[in-house]
Structure 1
């Protein structure tokens, strides 16, 4: 069967899943090339696969140190994988087709719509073009603002490379760094400029492209924004505020450090303090932030801010017997059901993966394993330091979790849906709840 015929028969969800899988496998092979590695370094395929998965799934978990393992070319490949993973395989593919002057058919438009989690298919081509231009502008601005910090410590070519890589990694919420020694941003924990620039890039990438485009279009007027934008911005602000306060209360870190982790935990994965030294209470706060994650059509993962908002609204509605509404608008009827399914699937996946990892690596503690699996699922990339210690089975498990987390649990569940559904209606029964 020709490839084009095979792809035409696939649902958009399966095309997206296969696209990510292809990028991961290709990336793992590129990272193993001699020109991608530092002299004298040999990279086992499983480690290359793990790194490629972490990059394409914009996670940032590492079993090796990218800075001391990869050559400049290897770091360039890593940056490209992060960029592809953050923008999405569908968006990158459409961008290439547009650059070649090819037309986008209805099937490809559906793939973009599903990949970006959009409700409507109107203006998709303009939307994709805007994504590329906006991403380029924000990442170049981030690199420009980061450059003075790195130029203090590195020669000009290296400082330029670090600035560009850091900006790409930050905006795409990946958490990768190529500074070497596996220290992430701990050496810069007191650098206000780099901390704030990184936070700004992470937040911009995490709120989602629809929100980024709508804000200036509606002249930044709160009343003129759509319900989606108001939900995303209000939930993001609340999580940043409460996350900062709780982390400052539980950990002996600065206000800047608490704010940075409140931002980074929501799928970015950069560290300015050693998480292995955090208390269990502090890790619980970070775990909650990681699990919620970023917003729809963004470069981040997690169950998403809108899912969390709808869950809270549904619970409040059930407790007070009021209709589900927000910002003077009714919440769609199926929203709570979808949010509940996504959340329950996420909890089930994290608990099952944690159970299996504890079997594979019984020497690890439940606290560290649970944190690791939430981080992998939410594509956050934060770790208490156990990632390099994982066995081969646990690394494969972590790869699967990152892949599912990037696609989304509901998308993965729908990949196995082959029938058109039941047409028979059954009489309604009774069941006691609560």
Structure 2
């Protein structure tokens, strides 16, 4: 069978591609599109890619374009994208009472960014239970807010959709008129509920599981969990302070945006009104993104942490260590590769999009491309102005961002290693 000959990264990439194509067909069906609305296939493909890649960039408004059935399809695509095609497939196999073979376990391990395949089936069950718990609780709490503005049935639908979108860090909404959560910029309850869903969806299932097992006891947590949690909190606090310092918005708005920026994609203030300094802060936070094994994108918090430790080690000539652990020797080189590939994708994408649509400003395009790569979904408002070529480019960037830089490299290049060794040369650096 052809699938048996493919590497794990290629199967994962193929799975996401098939999910995107299937979604684009479901979204363009007459039963999915509101009467009187004409939906081009490029917009259906763009929306499906944004959903499966849990990005949130939209070329058409979800509420104004899709029927309740279409919105249901969209929510399912977000759910599949957040959990991962591989995890969904494994969950179905487990539910049917069948065993997952070694190839399947290897796929799951690679898809979820975990080091060991031990206890993988139990881990998959935990992922589904965790997702159901957070999304149901999030929906019930969100209903308290939305029920004040919408009829009960509609409020329930909006609450479920919002909870799925928030926990999976996708940034989609079905409130209409491309407004995201701007109508609730001062609603403390909805802001905090959304932040909690974003946070737990963004730290990764492995960390959530460890927090539960270790009863939130900090000293018992692994190095990975400590790094993820500490870096997430650091970025939230620093992001809040920097955004508040550059923009005339409330502390609640700055706090929410600092959460949402790192791949969630919800906005309570129109970003098109932000200063260049404010947009730069958001761009940096988007590029860093969420954490490994989570529903979010970006180069990841742990990658950024390892980069900082490597730079500190080079500057001070001291070994790389944190939380009484030594940082793995190859971690810095891997982090540098991920960052370099991510930066190359963003810069190349920005250049090509500026060539395709020179009428757009550099900062807006740079912001848009970074958002697509990091699967953040935030935009200054230019998404609807993109032509077919720019939309196709954005689709490719979102797809690459969801798979991750290392997966992209191994999809196109796979080697068992070099058989010939060479003498070490001299080169001046710096």
Q: Give the TM-score taking structure 1 as reference length.
A: 0.99
Q: 2:280 aligns with which of 262, 266, 284?
A: 284
Alignment pair present for 1:17 and 2:13: yes
Measured after TM superposition, the shift of residue 284 of structure 1 is 0.5
User: SS at 1:34's partner residue?
Assistant: coil
Q: State how far apart, in whole Å, the 1-side matches of 2:417 and 2:134 are.
A: 44
Distance in 2 of aligned mates of 1:153 and 1:54 = 28
Match of 1:395?
391
Q: 2:174 aligns with which of 173, 178, 200?
A: 178
Aligned position for 1:193? 189
Partner of 1:202: 198
**What CA distance in whole angstroms lies between the structure 2 residues aligned with 1:60 and 1:117?**
23
Deviation at 1:391, TM superposition (A): 1.1
- Aligned equivalents of 1:381 and 1:417: distance in 2? 29
Does residue 149 (structure 1) correspond to residue 145 (structure 2)? The answer is: yes
Unaligned ranges ≥5, structure 2:
none
Confirm whether residue 328 of structure 1 aligns to residue 330 of structure 2: no
- Give the CA deviation at 1:421: 2.1
Q: Which residue of structure 2 aligns with residue 102 of structure 1?
A: 98
Which among 401, 404, 427 is matched to residue 405 of structure 1? 401
Specify the alignment match of 1:319 in structure 2: 315
The within-5 A match list for 1:207-356 is 207-356=203-352
1:253 partner SS:
coil
Distance in 1, matches of 2:152 and 2:94, equals 35
Alignment of 1:409-424 (within 5 A): 409-424=405-420
**SS of the residue 1:394 aligns to:** helix
1:46 aligns with 2:26: no
What's the CA shift string for 1:137-178, capped at 9, x where partnerless? 110000000001110111111000000000000000000001
Task: Supply the distance in 2 between the matched residues of 1:111 and 1:180 (Cα, whole angstroms).
Answer: 38
How far off its partner does 1:324 sit?
Answer: 0.5
What is aligned with 1:116? 112
Name the counterpart of 1:64: 60
State the 1:418 CA deviation. Answer: 3.7
The separation in 2 between residues aligned to 1:109 and 1:324, in whole angstroms, is 32
2:379 equivalent to 1:383:
yes
Distance across 1 between alignment mates of 2:165 and 2:72: 12
Which residue matches 2:24?
Answer: 28
Please state how far the C-alpha of 1:331 moved relative to its aligned partner: 0.3
Offset from partner CA, 1:239-258 (integer Å, 9 cap, x none): 00000001111000000000
State how far apart, in whole Å, the 1-side matches of 2:154 and 2:192 are: 22
Distance 1:409 1:228 in 2: 20
Q: Provide the secondary structure at the position in 2 that maps to 1:415.
A: helix
Q: Give CA-to-partner distance per residue, 1:352-395, whole Å, 9 cap, x none.
A: 00000000000001000000000000000000000000111100
Distance of 1:236 and 1:46 partners within structure 2? 35
For 1:212 and 1:148, locate their aligned partners in 2 and report how far apart those are by CA, in whole Å.
26
Distance across 1 between alignment mates of 2:392 and 2:266: 23
Q: Distance in 2 between matches of 1:316 and 1:337?
A: 14
CA distance in 2, matches of 1:265, 1:66: 20
Matched, 1:363 2:383: no
Q: CA deviation at 1:417?
A: 2.0
For 2:268 and 2:365, the matched residues in 1 are separated by: 21
Q: Unaligned regions of 5+ residues in structure 1, if any? A: none
Alpha-carbon offset, residue 221 of structure 1: 1.1
Give the match's secondary structure for 1:36.
coil
Mapped partners of 2:147, 2:226: distance in 1: 39
- Measure the CA separation in 2 of the matches of 1:65 and 1:220: 40
Shift of 1:100: 1.2
| Count of aligned residue pairs for this structure pair | 430
- Secondary structure of 2:43's partner? helix
Q: Give RMSD over aligned pairs.
A: 0.5
Q: Which moved more, 1:113-122 or 1:409-418?
A: 409-418
1:420 CA drift (Å): 1.8
2: CA distance, partners of 1:116 / 1:7: 19
Could you tell me which residue of structure 2 aligns to residue 130 of structure 1? 126
Instruction: After TM superposition, give the deviation of residue 326 of structure 1 in Å.
Output: 0.6
CA distance in 2, matches of 1:409, 1:394: 21
Confirm or deny that 1:159 pairs with 2:155.
Answer: yes
